[in-house]
Amino acid sequence: YFGCLLAFCIYSVFLFISTKEKIHIIYAVFLMLLIINTCVYYGVSTEFIHPKQPDFNNPLLPFSFALCMFFFFVFAKIYLKMSAQPPNILLEIYHIITIILLLISPLAFLLGHAAGHAANAVLVLFNIGILLILTIRLCLDKNTHAIFLLVAFLPLGTSLSLKLLSLDNLFSSQHLFERNFYLPESTIFSVVALSFSIAHAMKTMRREMELARSR
């Protein structure tokens, strides 16, 4: 699991070095934060990094999760080229929530991890819903990037949403709880699929550049 995430993280860094496209470094940062968040979630950070301060793990989890989701939402914005779309209320709300998610990331250290978890859950669930609506709209317009993103993110988005709802006691399922809502499996699928999506976007960009040169 960690090897796969790290491999795609390094792969994205190399893509950024060779193309200078910021989407690759944003995706690499997202993957690195995902690795850190997973280490914190499973207690690896407590065991190896701060064993004498185990309570530090509590606020660190919502803090790293907020940063991880912030970079994912920024990645999705760039990947779907939202800035080029006509302004609408959903896009504005998406941008505002993304910024708020970054601003409140230290909340867990100031007000406690429970407040951090609660704020993260509400903001992330709202933005996942908005991102889904925006992506489906683009899919109906036969936007290839949106189709790739929908296929890639749907399993992880579903697993993550159910996980967040369970933390707020709004959803419960013993089977899903025992399987940790299939988060590791859906995460690996999404990371691999998103990497293929980025590769496809690069191929499209290269083709457009070659056509421009030929003209």
Residues in the chain: 215
Judged against a pLDDT cut of 80, whether residue 205 lies above it is answered with no
* pLDDT band of 182, cuts 50, 70, 90: confident
- Cβ(116)–Cβ(90) below 8 Å: no
Q: Is the dihedral of CA 30, 3, 184, 59 positive or negative?
A: negative
* pLDDT band of 9, cuts 50, 70, 90: very high
Record the tokens describing residue 11, joined without a space: 């792969």
pTM of this prediction? 0.88
* pLDDT score, position 170: 62
CA 40 and chain centroid, separation: 16
- CB-facing half-sphere around the CA of 87: CA atoms within 13 A: 1
Mean local confidence (pLDDT), 190-204: 81
d(CA 36, CA 68): 9
* pLDDT band of 179, cuts 50, 70, 90: low
